[in-house]
Amino acid sequence: MASIVVESKPGAKPNLEVFSATLQELAATDRDIIVVTSDSRGSGKLVPFGKKYPAQIVEIGIAEQNLVGVSAGLASAGKKTFAVSPACFLTARALEQIKNDVAYSDNPVKLIGISAGVSYGALGTTHHSLHDFAALRAINNLIVVAPADNFETAEAIRQAAASRHPIYLRFGKKNMPLLKEDESEGFQFGKGRVVAKGRDLAFIATGETVYPALEAARQLRSVHGIESTVISMHTIKPLDTALLQETAAGTGAIITVEEHSINGGLGEACASYLLQNGYRKPFRIVGIPDEYTVTGSQNEIFQHYGISKDGLTDIALQLLGREGARPGRGGGA
pLDDT mean across residues, the chain: 93
Name the CATH superfamily for 13-176: Thiamin diphosphate (ThDP)-binding fold, Pyr/PP domains (3.40.50.970)
Cα–Cα dist 82/68, whole Å? 10
**For residue 1, is pLDDT > 50?**
no
Task: Report yes or no: 49 and 212 within 8 Å, Cβ to Cβ.
Answer: no
Q: Where in the chain is the domain with CATH 3.40.50.920?
A: 193-320
Cα–Cα dist 173/17, whole Å? 9
SS3 for 181? coil
The reported pLDDT for the residue numbered 10 is 46
Q: Classify the phi-psi angles of 175: left when phi > 0, otherwise alpha if psi is within -120 to 50, otherwise beta.
A: beta
By mean pLDDT, which of 5-19, 117-131, 261-275 is the weakest? Answer: 5-19
Question: How many residues does this entry show for the chain?
Answer: 333
How would residue 325 be classed by pLDDT, with cut points 50, 70 and 90? Answer: low
Residue pLDDT, tens place only, 35-48: 999 998 888 899 99
Pick from 233, 177, 224, 235: which is nearest to 198 by CA? 224
Residue pLDDT, tens place only, 106-128: 999 999 999 999 999 999 999 99
Residue 62: φ, ψ to 5° = -75, 80
Which CATH number does the domain 193-320 belong to among 3.40.50.720, 3.60.70.12, 3.80.10.10, 3.40.50.920?
3.40.50.920
Residue pLDDT, tens place only, 96-107: 999 999 999 999
Given strand 143-145, what is the order of strands in its sheet? 57-59, 33-37, 80-86, 110-114, 167-170, 143-145, 235-237
**For residue 184, is pLDDT > 80?**
no
Residue 261: φ, ψ to 5° = -55, 145
The residue ranges of DSSP E strands in the chain, in sequence order, are 13-14, 33-37, 57-59, 80-86, 110-114, 143-145, 167-170, 175-176, 193-196, 201-205, 228-232, 235-237, 254-261, 283-288
CA distances from 66 to 50, 102, 129, 168, 180 (A): 20, 12, 20, 17, 40
**For residue 151, is pLDDT > 80?**
yes
CA distances from 6 to 10, 12, 180, 205 (A): 9, 9, 10, 18
